[in-house]
Each structure stands twice: as structure tokens, then as C-alpha cells.
């Protein structure tokens, strides 16, 4: 039995998970239209490589990764691309982003799939395969998995498969572990190979006994020495740093990555897609999504990326008093700007909300410095101080108080007796700080460009002055050259020239004198 550790704080919100685990994962039928965003992952947006009117096959590349942190995007089914334009997506801003609209032809016809045996490939080759298959973290942040595997010379001791799924309502990982444990385990083995990790641990909260049993069974069947660990159910136990702490006792230092302490974490659903990508040659085209909350039939669906969320919500039969939708869990999820946005790789759960399920928050009141938030904070921060600095826009101080170690779990807001929406202040402060850092970079660039321009002017002036000086020097030199001694021949020529000039002058002089005389006589004659 492994000795488990604890992280500071944490809360126990009602889990609300059983609603959606009563029936098996269902395949959502093919919708009549798919909207596939080109930016579904952390990092740079993928570049479209298809045109409007193109017929595409299922699994065909439509968005090429562009930049180091980026990932590929594929056609989730066969059909025709009818538009590539800005469409509303699941983003808290409610702003549109570039998407391809795909009208399925109903044949679901695959491109050629190439399965590989991972053991025959080098790590860079496998990373490239994952990148081109659009494999990204399915836990929520959608960080490209290949980037997490590029660890350089760092030694990875422990590979952690995150099946904690600590947020209320969400059950997609739970159901995936129950039903497809075998492929998760295969994928984990592939990830272990790519990281050359010594041990593989699965962290699953102890409120998912079926999932734990399924994983153990799958590991036994495939004769691997992976270890499934049941961890206590505490929110946010599924957050990477907290999970690492519980399983290994190690602390990821502020500003560092898990790999810096020899640990790497992947979501169980990510391991599943790694297996699909390598062992079956299938890019990431679909995912499991929990449809729950204010619906008649809460259930998990396997849906194609690009499926309009209203289509899924209809499958779950949202109740009539539904007044909104949250993508993700109630703690960290984002409210959808519209129900017509498409499913993306990060869509793990859709919660229909109603006034009854999610009553309006009570009006917030001043902070009474009760420090309940401090007790709850899993990142060991001082949320009340962070709040104070964020609301007064003292961003430098907020940063000094480790604002960027905040994982935005919402535990502090949950316990705050003054109902202060603390996390929103942190999000605001973080994005302001990031924008300022960006502005600073731009300003530094502008300074360099301006200085370069000044320098160029200076140089041009200098060059002009130099040229002028050179010209003067040349004139001087020419003058000097003229005083050089002449050859006898030149002297003779010069003498000859002078003699002729003298003669002309004499002639001219005499004629002038003559005319002058004549003129005088004429005048006197008058």
C-alpha cells in the first residue's frame, strides 16, 4: 500500500456525479453540420490547409500546426467544406474565431490510416506523430501532448495518469476508465516509453471504484507493472500540482514544471487518444462529453469535434427552465456565450443551468479577513491579500504574493462568507499582467527600432560629412599636384603658350588704342 500525502486546503462540494453515470457512453448521431475551430489547443492557431468547396475524408488534415506549441486539426467525418470563417466558439470572451464548416456526406469515409508500433520509432518521430494527429491534453487546458513529451535531458521518474476528475458533475473520464480501460493502459504504456519513466501511477479519486477496478483489470490482463492509486476525494485533487503532491509527496516549486522534479502528468483520456493515434492511426476526432445539470437524461456522449452543443443538449433533453450552459464543471468551467457553439477538444462537460440548480449568488460584501479562503486554498496562497491587490489593481504586489501560482480552482470563492467572486479578480489581474508584459515587449522592440533609426541617421550624417571631407581633400590634392615640377617638353609648351598669349594681348592693346584715338577725333569733329 502506497503512503499518500496531502495537499493544503481543499473543499468538499456536493459531487453530483451519479446522475450521469447510470447509463453507458452513447454515440451521438452524426449532426447535419460540424463547425471545427482551428484553435482548439493552447498555443498557436493551426493554419487552414483546405479550401471552401473541398471534399474531405474523415481524419483528413484541415489545419496544419503552426509554431512550436500548436496542434493539427482534422475533418471529423467525410463531407464538404462549405465555409472557412469566423464563428462563435466556446470562449469566455464571446468573440468569434476561425472555423471550418463541414457538411457531412453521411458516408463517414476514412482517409488511409497508418497504425504504428511505437517501439519501432524514435521519440522525436512519435512526438511528431502525436502533433500531426492533433493529440492534446483532454483534461481541460488542451495543451499539445507532444510538447509535454519534449523533455530534453530531464529524467522522468514518475508518469502520472490523471483520472481524479475532482470537479462536481463531470464523469467523462470516469466512464472512459470504466469502459475503455484497456486502451488507456496501452496509451499509458506508450507515454511511459516516450518519457522513459520508471513508474506509472494512476491517480483516481476513491469515489470511482468501478473505474479503479477496470483499470486494475486491464493492467493485469496486459501484464504491466502500472499502479492504480485510490486517492481521497477532495476538490481540487485532480489539479496537476496537487495530484503530484498526493501521489509522490513532491512539491512543484513556484514557476517550475513537474518535469523539473522528474514527474509528468497526462489525463487518462489523453492516454486513450495517444493509443488511438499510434496503434490505430486515428487522429483526435471525437471525445467523451458529459451532458448534465438541468436535463432529463444526464449522460455521457461520444461526440465528434465540431458538433454543435445545442445538438448534444437536445440529446440530453434540457428542461424548459434552463437559462444557460456551462462548459466544464461548476467550479472552473466557463459560461457559454451561446448554445450554438461547437464541441472542441477541451469540452469535457456541458452543464445546463437553471435558477433552481444554480441560484444567483448573493450580493458580495466587504472582506472580513476571516481567512477561511486561506484554509481552503490548495496552492497555499493568501487569497484575501491577492483579492485586495487585484481589486485595487496593485498588480506588482499581487505578483509578489504569487498570483500566478493560483490555479483558479475557486475553492476560496466557494468558502468565502462574504460571497466575493475572488477567482474573477484573479483572472482579471492575471490577464492584465500578461497584457502589460506583452505591451512591455512591444515597447522594448519599439525602443530598439527607434534607437536603430537614430543610429542610422547619425551614420548617414557621418557618411555625408566624410564624403564632403574626402571631396575637399581631393581638391586640395589636385592643387598640390599642379605645383609639381614639369617636364622640359611641358615647360616648352607652356612657354610657347605664354608667348602666344602675350602676342594676342599686344595686338589687342594696340587696336584698342587705335580705336580710342579714332573715337576721340570723331567726337571732336562733331
Query: Looking at 22-30, 172-180, 371-379, 435-443, which segment touches ligand SF4 (CB under 6 A)?
Result: 371-379
Residues between 375 and 414 that touch another protein (CB under 8 A): 410-414
CB of 363 to another protein, least distance (A): 5
H or E segment at 271? helix 268-279
Q: Which string of x and - marks every residue 318-357 that binds ligand SF4 (by CB under 6 A)?
A: ----------------------------------------
Binding segment toward ligand SF4, per CB under 6 A, in 164-172, 183-191, 210-218, 372-380: 372-380
Q: How far is the CB of 426 from another protein (least distance, A)?
A: 9
C-alpha 467/C-alpha 471 separation (Å) is 6
Query: Could you write out the DSSP letters of every residue in 231-265?
Result: E---BTTTSHHHHHHHHH-----TT--GGGGTEEE
Other beta carbons less than 10 A from residue 223's beta carbon: 6
Least CB distance from residue 412 to ligand SF4, whole Å?
A: 3
In angstroms, what CA-CA distances link 201 with 170, 258, 316?
A: 22, 14, 34
Which residue, 369 or 503, has its beta carbon nearer to ligand SF4?
Answer: 369
Q: Compare residues 164 and 341 and give the one whose CB is closer to ligand SF4.
A: 164
Nearest distance from C-beta of residue 225 to another protein, angstroms: 38
Q: In this structure, are residues 127 and 146 in contact, taking their beta carbons and an 8 Å threshold?
A: yes
Single out the residue of 30, 47, 50, 96 in contact with another protein (rule: CB under 8 A): 96
Find the largest Cα–Cα distance for the chain.
149
Interface of this chain with ligand SF4, residues 381 to 410, rule: CB under 6 A: 381, 383-384, 386-387, 406-410
Selected binder of another protein within 71, 353, 384, 418 (CB under 8 A): 353
Among 136-144, 202-210, 324-332, 487-495, which window interacts with another protein (CB under 8 A)? 324-332
Non-local (6+) Cβ contacts of 21 within 8 A are: 171, 174, 175, 300
Q: Which stretch binds ligand SF4 (CB under 6 A): 160-168, 273-281, 288-296, 365-373?
A: 365-373
> Which residue from 453, 455, 500, 503 is in contact with another protein, where contact means CB under 8 A?
453
Query: Pick from 368, 446, 473, 504: which binds another protein (CB under 8 A)?
Result: 446
Q: Does 326 bind another protein (CB under 8 A)?
A: yes
The three three-digit cell numbers of residue 517, written as one number: 584715338
Number of residues binding to another protein, judged by CB under 8 A: 62
Q: Is the dihedral of CA 330, 333, 338, 340 positive or negative?
A: negative
372 binds, among ligand SF4, another protein, none (CB under 5 to 8 A by kind): ligand SF4
Residue whose entry in the numeric block shows the C-alpha cell 501532448:
145
Residues in contact with another protein, shown as a per-residue x/- string from 407 to 426 under the rule CB under 8 A: ---xxxxx-x----xxxxx-
Q: Which of ligand SF4, another protein, none lies near 278, with the C-beta cut-off 5 to 8 A by kind?
A: none
Helix (H) or strand (E) holding 192: helix 172-195
Residues 411 and 383: their CA atoms lie apart, in Å, by: 10
Using CB under 6 A, pick the residue from 218, 313, 318, 420 that binds ligand SF4. Answer: 420
Please state whether 371 falls in left (phi above 0), alpha (psi between -120 and 50) or beta: left
Torsion sign over Cα 83, 89, 93, 98: negative
By CB under 6 A, residue 431 contacts ligand SF4: no
Q: In a 3-state reduction of DSSP, which class is residue 202?
A: strand
Distance CA 387, CA 367 (A): 9
List 8, 91, 150, 397, residue binding another protein (CB under 8 A):
91
**Of 141, 144, 152, which is closest to residue 196 (Cα–Cα)?**
152
CA dihedral sign of residues 52, 57, 61, 63: positive
What's the grid cell of residue 468?
Answer: 564632403
C-alpha cell at 232: 481521497
| Cell numbers that stand for 326 in this block | 456551462
Question: Would you call 208 helix, strand, or coil by DSSP?
Answer: coil
Residues forming contacts to ligand SF4 in the complex (CB under 6 A) are 367-373, 376-379, 381, 383-384, 386-387, 406-412, 415-418, 420, 422-423, 426
Residues forming contacts to another protein in the complex (CB under 8 A) are 13-14, 16, 39, 89, 91-97, 168, 324-326, 330-338, 353, 357-361, 363-364, 410-414, 416, 421-425, 427-428, 430-432, 435, 439, 442-447, 449-453
Amino acid at each position: 500500500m502506497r503512503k499518500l500525502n496531502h495537499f493544503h486546503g481543499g473543499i468538499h462540494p456536493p459531487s453530483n456525479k451519479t446522475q450521469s453515470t447510470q447509463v453507458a457512453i452513447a454515440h451521438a448521431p452524426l449532426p447535419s453540420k460540424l463547425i471545427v475551430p482551428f484553435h482548439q489547443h493552447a498555443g498557436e492557431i493551426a493554419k487552414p490547409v483546405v479550401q471552401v468547396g473541398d471534399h474531405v475524408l474523415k481524419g483528413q488534415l484541415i489545419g496544419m500546426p503552426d509554431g512550436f506549441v500548436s496542434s493539427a486539426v482534422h475533418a471529423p467525418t467525410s463531407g464538404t467544406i462549405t465555409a472557412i470563417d469566423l464563428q462563435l466558439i466556446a470562449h469566455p470572451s464571446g468573440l468569434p474565431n476561425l472555423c471550418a464548416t463541414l457538411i457531412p456526406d453521411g458516408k463517414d469515409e476514412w482517409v488511409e490510416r497508418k497504425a504504428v508500433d511505437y517501439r519501432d520509432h524514435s521519440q522525436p518521430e512519435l512526438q511528431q506523430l502525436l502533433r500531426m494527429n492533433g493529440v492534446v491534453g483532454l483534461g481541460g487546458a488542451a495543451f499539445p501532448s507532444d510538447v509535454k513529451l519534449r523533455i530534453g535531458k530531464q529524467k522522468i521518474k514518475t508518469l502520472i495518469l490523471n483520472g481524479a476528475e475532482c470537479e462536481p458533475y463531470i464523469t467523462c473520464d470516469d466512464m472512459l476508465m470504466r469502459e475503455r480501460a484497456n486502451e488507456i493502459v496501452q496509451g499509458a504504456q506508450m507515454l511511459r516509453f516516450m518519457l522513459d519513466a520508471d513508474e506509472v501511477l494512476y491517480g483516481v479519486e476513491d469515489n470511482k471504484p468501478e473505474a479503479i477496478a477496470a483499470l486494475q483489470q486491464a493492467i493485469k490482463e496486459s501484464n504491466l507493472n502500472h499502479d492504480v492509486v485510490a486517492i481521497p476525494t477532495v476538490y481540487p485533487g485532480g489539479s496537476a500540482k496537487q495530484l503530484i503532491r498526493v501521489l509522490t509527496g513532491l512539491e512543484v516549486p513556484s514557476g517550475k514544471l513537474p518535469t523539473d522534479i522528474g514527474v509528468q502528468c497526462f489525463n487518462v483520456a489523453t492516454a486513450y487518444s495517444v493509443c488511438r493515434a499510434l496503434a490505430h492511426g486515428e487522429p483526435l476526432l471525437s471525445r467523451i462529453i458529459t451532458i448534465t445539470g438541468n436535463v432529463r437524461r444526464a449522460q455521457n456522449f461520444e461526440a465528434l469535434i465540431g458538433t454543435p452543443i445545442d445538438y448534444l443538449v437536445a440529446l440530453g433533453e434540457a428542461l424548459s427552465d434552463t437559462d444557460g450552459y456551462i462548459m466544464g464543471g461548476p467550479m472552473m468551467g466557463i459560461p457559454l456565450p451561446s448554445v450554438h457553439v461547437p464541441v472542441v477538444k477541451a469540452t469535457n462537460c456541458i452543464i445546463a443551468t437553471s435558477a433552481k440548480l444554480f441560484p444567483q449568488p448573493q450580493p458580495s460584501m466587504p472582506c472580513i479577513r476571516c481567512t477561511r479562503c486561506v484554509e481552503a486554498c490548495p496552492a497555499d496562497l493568501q487569497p484575501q491579500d491577492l483579492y485586495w491587490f487585484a481589486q485595487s489593481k496593485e498588480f506588482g504586489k499581487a505578483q509578489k504574493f504569487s498570483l500566478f501560482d493560483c490555479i483558479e480552482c475557486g475553492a476560496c470563492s466557494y468558502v468565502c462568507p462574504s460571497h466575493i467572486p475572488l477567482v474573477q479578480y484573479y483572472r482579471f489581474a492575471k490577464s492584465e499582467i500578461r497584457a502589460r508584459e506583452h505591451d512591455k515587449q512591444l515597447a522594448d522592440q519599439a525602443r530598439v527600432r527607434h534607437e536603430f533609426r537614430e543610429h542610422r541617421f547619425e551614420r548617414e550624417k557621418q557618411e555625408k560629412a566624410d564624403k564632403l571631407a574626402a571631396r575637399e581633400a581631393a581638391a586640395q590634392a589636385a592643387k598640390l599636384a599642379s605645383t609639381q615640377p614639369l617636364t622640359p617638353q611641358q615647360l616648352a609648351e607652356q612657354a610657347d603658350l605664354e608667348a602666344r598669349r602675350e602676342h594676342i594681348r599686344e595686338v589687342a592693346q594696340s587696336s584698342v588704342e587705335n580705336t580710342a584715338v579714332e573715337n576721340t577725333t570723331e567726337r571732336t569733329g562733331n
